[in-house]
Every structure is written in C-alpha cells, then in structure tokens.
C-alpha cells in the first residue's frame, strides 16, 4: 500500500517542521520536493491542493490509502497528524486536562509568536495599534513561552508533545538565525529538542 502521507516540501521552509513531525510518528510518508525559485508551488495543479501556493501542504490518503485530503497550515497539519498517529504519543487525548494547553501552544506558535516575529523582521511604516493586532509584541510572546517552559522540561506536563514541535521548531530557527534575544534562556530546552532522534533525522546539518 502507498504511504499514508504525502508532504509537499522544501527543506528551507516551514515544511521542515512537518518532516520532523512525520519522523516523530514513524508513519510512512512520501516527499514531493518543490522548487521555490522555479515556482512549482504556484502551478495550477498545486493551487488546487493549496490555493495560497504555500508549503507545507500535506496529503492524507487515509488509513486504507483510498482518500486524497489536503491539509494546509502547519498548526492544522501538526494537530491532524498527531491525532492520526496516537501510538506516537504526541497529543493528549481530547477531553483530557492537558489538551487545552496543548492546543493553546500549537496555536500560539502560529497565531502569536510567528506574526510577532514578522513585525520585528518587517516593520510597518506606521505600526499597527497594539489593541488591533491579534498578537503581543515579540519580547512579550517570548516571555510567555519561557513561562510555559517553567518548570519544564516540556510545555505540557512532563512529556514531549507536538506543541513542543511547533514552538521548538520556531525557537530553533530563530536561534539559528541569531534572532533570539538572550538565547541562553532557551538553551536547555533547545538542547532537549536537538537530542531527539527524529529531530536529528529531519535536521541532520
Ligand atoms: N501559515 C503557513 C505559512 C506557510 C508559508 O508561508 N510557507 C512559505 C515557506 S516558509 C511559502 O510557501 N512561501 C512560498 C511563497 O509564498 O511563494 C503555515 O504555517 O503553514
């Protein structure tokens, strides 16, 4: 049977965290490599899967391999795959007390930390009024993440979840690009992330 998941991918993109996710699950998956310079992600056949023409995009063929469902947006892909692969233990069960913080952190990575960082990287000529944008300033978002990691070792309880994958991939990327203020505050967490075999398979370099 063909692999259940197909990841539309480019290694220098947000799709790399989904490769890490798939490695964490142990599920079979295929990679469709895109050429961002050549614009393969803007071709009509790909736009049918993701009208935004963005990576990552994941195809789920379902447990019996007969479906063809596209899932877009990293946070949605992470939640979906973690739920489809319960044996990997990446997601607290729906209804459990850990599920709320788990979903909060996955959403926080995509809806608060990432746009807050974009504000720093690409400042507007006129800053948007703070009460009108849906995320805090970047430094405040990082403070909140640090609070979530205290006492640790992980964001939700004492085990690694897909919430650590979303937040950890972003922090690792910020750190690698020298964009993490006072990075030592995050070093123990980033070291724990980097020690994971699945992470090392996805980010060998
Ligand atoms: N919110 C989306 C963002 C996806 C995104 O912006 N991906 C970038 C690569 S990191 C992309 O595909 N850029 C190509 C383009 O827009 O032409 C997610 O988290 O999945």
Ligand 1 atom having least distance to the Cα of 55: 12
Query: Which of 88, 107, 132 is at the close of a domain?
Result: 88
Query: Domain check: are 142 and 189 in the same one?
Result: yes
State how far the Cα of 163 lies from the Cα of 133, in Å rounded to an integer. 23
Average of per-residue pLDDT values in the chain = 97
Query: What does the pLDDT read at residue 63?
Result: 94
CATH label of the domain that carries residue 31: 3.40.30.10
Confidence of residue 25 (pLDDT cuts 50, 70, 90): very high
Spacing, Cα 38 to ligand 1 middle (Å): 15
State how far the Cα of 43 lies from the Cα of 37, in Å rounded to an integer. 12
Query: Domain check: are 108 and 84 in the same one?
Result: no
Q: Which two tokens stand for residue 122?
A: 């690409």
For 130, the domain range is 99-202
Query: Which of 88, 114, 140 is at the close of a domain?
Result: 88
CA 113 to chain centroid: 12
pTM of the entire structure?
A: 0.97
Residue 205 pLDDT exceeds 80 = no
Query: Domain check: are 105 and 188 in the same one?
Result: yes
Query: Domain check: are 128 and 187 in the same one?
Result: yes
State how far the Cα of 101 lies from the Cα of 181, in Å rounded to an integer. 25
Q: Report the pocket of ligand 1 as residue ranges, CB < 6 Å.
A: 13-14, 36, 41, 53-56, 73-74, 110
Q: Residue 71 domain-assigned?
A: yes
pLDDT in tens, 37-67: 999 999 999 999 999 999 999 999 999 999 9
Ligand 1 atom having least distance to the Cα of 13: 10
Q: Residue 159 domain-assigned?
A: yes
Query: Domain check: are 107 and 28 in the same one?
Result: no
Q: Residue 94 domain-assigned?
A: no
Q: Residue 93 domain-assigned?
A: no
44 DSSP assignment: H
Instruction: Please count the structural domains in the chain.
Output: 2
Query: What does the pLDDT read at residue 1?
Result: 83
Query: Domain check: are 33 and 58 in the same one?
Result: yes
Query: Domain check: are 135 and 170 in the same one?
Result: yes
3-state SS, residue 188: helix
Query: Domain check: are 34 and 58 in the same one?
Result: yes
Query: Which of 88, 110, 142 is at the close of a domain?
Result: 88
Ligand 1 atom having least distance to the Cα of 74: 20
Query: Domain check: are 23 and 82 in the same one?
Result: yes
């Amino acid at each position: 049977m063909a692999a259940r998941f197909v990841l539309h991918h480019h290694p220098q993109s947000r799709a790399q965290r989904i490769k890490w996710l798939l490695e964490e699950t142990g599920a079979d998956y295929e990679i469709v490599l895109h050429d961002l310079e050549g614009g393969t992600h803007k071709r009509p056949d790909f736009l049918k899967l993701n009208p935004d023409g963005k990576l990552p995009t994941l195809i789920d063929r379902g447990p019996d391999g007969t479906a063809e469902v596209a899932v877009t947006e990293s946070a949605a892909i992470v939640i979906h795959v973690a739920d489809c692969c319960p044996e990997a233990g990446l997601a607290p069960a729906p209804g459990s007390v850990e599920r709320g913080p788990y979903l909060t952190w996955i959403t926080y990575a995509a809806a608060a930390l990432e746009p807050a960082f974009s504000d720093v990287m690409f400042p507007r000529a006129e800053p948007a009024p703070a009460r009108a944008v849906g995320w805090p300033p970047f430094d405040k978002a990082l403070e909140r993440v640090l609070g979530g990691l205290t006492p640790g070792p992980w964001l939700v309880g004492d085990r690694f979840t897909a919430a650590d994958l979303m937040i950890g991939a972003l922090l690792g990327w910020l750190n690698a690009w020298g964009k993490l203020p006072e990075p030592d505050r995050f070093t123990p967490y980033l070291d724990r992330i980097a020690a994971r075999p699945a992470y090392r398979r996805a980010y060998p370099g």
